[in-house]
Each structure stands twice: as C-alpha cells, then as structure tokens.
C-alpha cells in the first residue's frame, strides 16, 4: 500500500511541478520584452524541475524536465525549424535539467544532518549541472540551426555561446538562489 501511495504522490507531484514550470516560463516569456529574438529568456521555470530532481532524484527530474519541454511545444509558441532542432531545444534541453537529481541523496543527507553548508553546496552544484547541460544543448542548437543570425564576420560558435549565455547565466543564478530559499523554508518536504 505504501509503494502505491508513493507512486501516486510521485506522479501527482511531477504533473503539478511540470505545469508550474510551464507557467513560470510563460510569465518569464511575457516579461522578457522579446530581448532574445531567436528564443530564450531569463526564466525561473527550471526551479520546479530542480525541486523535483532534488526530492525524487534523477527519475523525477528527467520526467519533469521532459514534460516542461513537451508543454512548451504543445501549449507555447515554440520556434521549430526541424524535428531535430525541436528535439534538441525542447526535448533534450529541458530533460537534461533533471540530471541535477544526481545530487539528491547528498542534499537529503545534508538536510537530515542539519548540515546547511553541505546541502546548499549540492543544490548549487545540481542547479549548475542542470543549467550547464541545458546551456550546452542551446549552444549546439544555435550553432547548427541558427548560424544565419550571427553578425557577419563573427564565428557562429562565439555568437551562440554569448547569445545563450546572456539568459542562461542569470537563469542559473536566480534558480539557485530561489531553490535554496524554498528548501530553507520547508526542508522536511525534501526528505
């Protein structure tokens, strides 16, 4: 009975947190003032994915990230050039955020032992890992599919690194800070 309840709780939380991530991304897109014409925005949409990854591990993170990408394609205004680009920008880029869950046990251990420095360190490492993997997917997509937007004479690799870095670095920093604040406010919910 406990296993069935745990599976149900897992599925409900994945659904709710994926929907929350989509809503946060939608609002961020509205507030971004279209600064990034080829897509991207400073967003806190990764926060629910990180919380699921830290609470449920890699499985919860990957599933939440995948559903976020899927919701963006179905409900959002995706910029889709090819099926491969769509898979990279929406399927892979958001799914890999969930790999932050590799630090789930260390975060839970730090919380259980009231070792604030430990769990905060692993939260930052996890949010960095997930953000960096999403960034790499976006950079690769930029190089392969959006090369024609690079200014004349600028290598596309440099253009894609800078373009995607202008929104991913602030998104990582905001996500790390907010995830730490959320976990600090309700540490027992993560264990």
Q: Output the pLDDT for position 31.
A: 73
The tens digit of pLDDT for each residue in 97-118 reads: 999 999 999 999 999 999 999 9
Res 149: pLDDT: 86
Asked whether the predicted pLDDT for residue 158 surpasses 70, the reply is: yes
pLDDT at 143 over 60: yes
Residue 114 backbone phi and psi in degrees, to 5: 55, 40
φ, ψ (nearest 5 deg) of residue 41: -165, 155
Per-residue pLDDT at 39: 65
Give me the architecture of the 2-189 domain, per CATH: Orthogonal Bundle (1.10)
pLDDT band at residue 62, thresholds of 50, 70 and 90?
Answer: very high
CB 96 within 8 A of CB 134: yes
Find the mean pLDDT for residues 143-153: 89
pLDDT of residue 191: 79
- What's the DSSP call for residue 148? G
Residue spans per domain, the chain: 2-189
């Amino acid at each position: 009975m406990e296993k069935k309840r745990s599976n149900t709780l897992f599925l409900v939380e994945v659904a709710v947190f994926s929907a929350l991530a989509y809503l946060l991304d939608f609002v961020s897109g509205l507030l971004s003032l279209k600064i990034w014409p080829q897509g991207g925005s400073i967003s806190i949409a990764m926060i629910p994915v990180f919380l699921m990854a830290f609470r449920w591990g890699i499985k919860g993170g990957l599933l939440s990230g995948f559903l976020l990408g899927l919701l963006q394609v179905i409900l959002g205004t995706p910029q889709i050039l090819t099926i491969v680009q769509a898979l990279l920008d929406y399927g892979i880029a958001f799914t890999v955020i969930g790999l932050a869950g590799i630090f789930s046990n260390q975060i839970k251990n730090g919380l259980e032992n009231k070792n604030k420095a430990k769990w905060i360190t692993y939260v930052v490492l996890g949010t960095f890992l997930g953000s960096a993997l999403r960034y790499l997917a976006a950079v690769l997509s930029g190089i392969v599919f959006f090369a024609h937007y690079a200014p004349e004479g600028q290598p596309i690799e440099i253009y894609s690194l800078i373009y995607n870095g202008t929104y991913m670095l602030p998104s990582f920093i905001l996500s790390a800070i907010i995830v730490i604040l959320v976990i600090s406010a309700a540490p027992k919910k993560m264990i």
